[in-house]
Amino acid sequence: MLKTILILIVTLVVVPITSYYFDEPLSEQQWHLLQVAGYIYLGVALSCFVLAEITKNCSQVDKIWSIVPIAYVWWFAFATGWADRPVIMAVMVTLWGIRLTYNFARRGAYTWRFWEGEEDYRWEVLRQKPMFAQPWKWTLFNLFFISLYQNGLILLFCLPILIACGSNTAPLGSWDFLLAGLMLALLVVETIADQQQWNYQNEKHRRIAQGLPLEEPYSKGFVHSGLWRWVRHPNYAAEQAIWVVFYFFSVAATGRWLNWSATGALLLLVLFQGSSDFSEEISASKYPAYKEYQSKVGRFLPRFW
């Protein structure tokens, strides 16, 4: 975990500073848009922290992970007078958010008391780690990583749209439509992967509840067919690729391959590396066959050797 945290810090500090000094400065309008988004970020992050502390449910950020980006991108689209490229980017993020919100909701994450709902099981596992034996350490972790850092990351991976809001951007072109098509294709992949996992887990638990034997493929305990036959986390792979593609809208807008808004996508890649490490540590401890699965199947990319 320490290695992941160090990489996150380096990426968060070095990448934006380096690319900022080699990139064109923001316009006055872009600074204003960023300032407003920053106020929204602080309000949302602190609200998540307070609710998590009161309810002891640290999935408050998880609940709004797919919702707040929609608010950010439509704010940028509105503030630029509904320019073509920001509107297309906002539509893509909205489709992404609707899909992810539905997938999260069907797992019991939302109730009419919005602060309740199911907590991600990984938070409880992490709470039991010796490093969080003292409650105040978990409180600080909740404030700085779960609430402030993760909400900051949500804002950061949306910021390519801020670059696309510049006054000297290229007109909408074929690259924009290609990128929109790629995002749609990745949304389809992510939807299929999540549905395959949903079907597998539901059937496995149905069999357990009814006292039926767990035959193959359910005997292993984890989904390993369909897209999961080729990569261990096809949903995570598609999710990361979606935001990398989203970044390239800023490239199409400016003609520059590197700008500081790449920070969000890069940090997301690092976050998923650490998150999948933790998830796989739990899976390997629960399912004897998981280590063999790890040795044969790639994490985010297919393994052809």
Whether the predicted pLDDT of 3 surpasses 90: no
**Encoded tokens for 300:** 């985010």
- Measured CA to CA in angstroms, residue 246 lies from 86, 176, 177, 209 at distances of 11, 10, 12, 42
pLDDT of residue 133: 77
Separation of alpha carbons 302 and 305, rounded Å = 9
Q: What is the pLDDT confidence band of residue 75, given thresholds at 50, 70 and 90?
A: very high
* Chain centroid offset of residue 57 CA: 19
pTM: 0.88
Separation of alpha carbons 219 and 287, rounded Å = 9
DSSP code at position 298: B
If you average pLDDT over every residue of the chain, what do you get? 88
pLDDT of residue 256: 86
Nearest in space to 67 (alpha carbons), one of 18, 101, 33: 101
**Encoded tokens for 94:** 């909205």
pLDDT of residue 94: 98
* Domain ranges across the chain: 2-296
